[in-house]
Amino acid sequence: MKRKKFRPIDLTFMALFAALMGVGANIAQFLVIGGLPITLQTFFSIMAGALLGSRLGSLSMALYTLIGLVGAPVFAQFTGGPAILIKPTFGFILSYILVSWIVGKIVETAKDPGFSRFLIACMVGLAINYFLGTNYMYFAYKFWADAPEGFTYGMAWLLMVPPLPKDVLLTVLTAVMAPRIYKAIHRSGSLSNQSAA
């Protein structure tokens, strides 16, 4: 199977979601709980996979990550550069690529995905984000970052409690909004996300 070449509309959607990730990272830049910035990045990474599909969605997240790694201030609290690699929150950034890919794959397995399919896909994406991000954060704190006094694996998960209601609400909202937007985009043949013979 040979993939279709990127068209200008594909590149536009990828750039759009990479930009939305930068906005989502800093829309609440001053809200930090336990060293963990509260952002809208999980929402946009899930939305990218749901609307663009596995290929373009994950590539848009990879583009966002690369833009930040080369120094553009697109990560939380307007940070950027390779120093993010050793920060405890980098696991969440890495997870966005896989989240978008998995969400897109789940949606793509249905010929005409509806709310239930999007809800399952989005919730799986949220679970992946929390699992990978929290485990990376724990190991970073234990092995190379300055961990809070008496830091444990349970404490790492407790840090994820404050943003959880916001992320669950936005994930459900994504599942509600996505079917109509998805159908509009894909009915018009706007995206070349699928493989072509």
Domains contained in the chain, CATH given: 8-187 (1.10.1760.20)
Q: Which residues contact 80 (CB under 8 A, 6 or more apart)?
A: 67, 68, 69, 70, 71, 72, 73, 74
On whether the pTM is more than 0.85, the answer is: yes
> What pLDDT shows up at residue 192?
58
Q: Chain-centre distance of CA 157, in angstroms?
A: 19
Token pair belonging to 162: 């404050």
Q: At what angle do helices 41-69 and 164-187 cross, to 10 degrees?
A: 80
> What pLDDT shows up at residue 1?
47
> What pLDDT shows up at residue 193?
53
Q: Give 147-167 pLDDT, tens digit per residue.
A: 878 889 999 999 999 889 989
Q: Give 53-108 pLDDT, tens digit per residue.
A: 999 999 999 999 999 999 999 998 899 999 999 999 999 999 999 999 999 999 99
- The rounded distance, in Å, linking the Cα atoms of 68 and 110 is 34
> What pLDDT shows up at residue 188?
65
- The rounded distance, in Å, linking the Cα atoms of 170 and 42 is 9
Q: Which residues contact 140 (CB under 8 A, 6 or more apart)?
A: 86, 87, 88, 90, 91
Asked if 77 and 37 count as a contact pair (C-beta separation under 8 A), the reply is yes
- The rounded distance, in Å, linking the Cα atoms of 26 and 40 is 8
Return the number of other C-beta atoms located less than 10 Å from residue 70's C-beta: 11
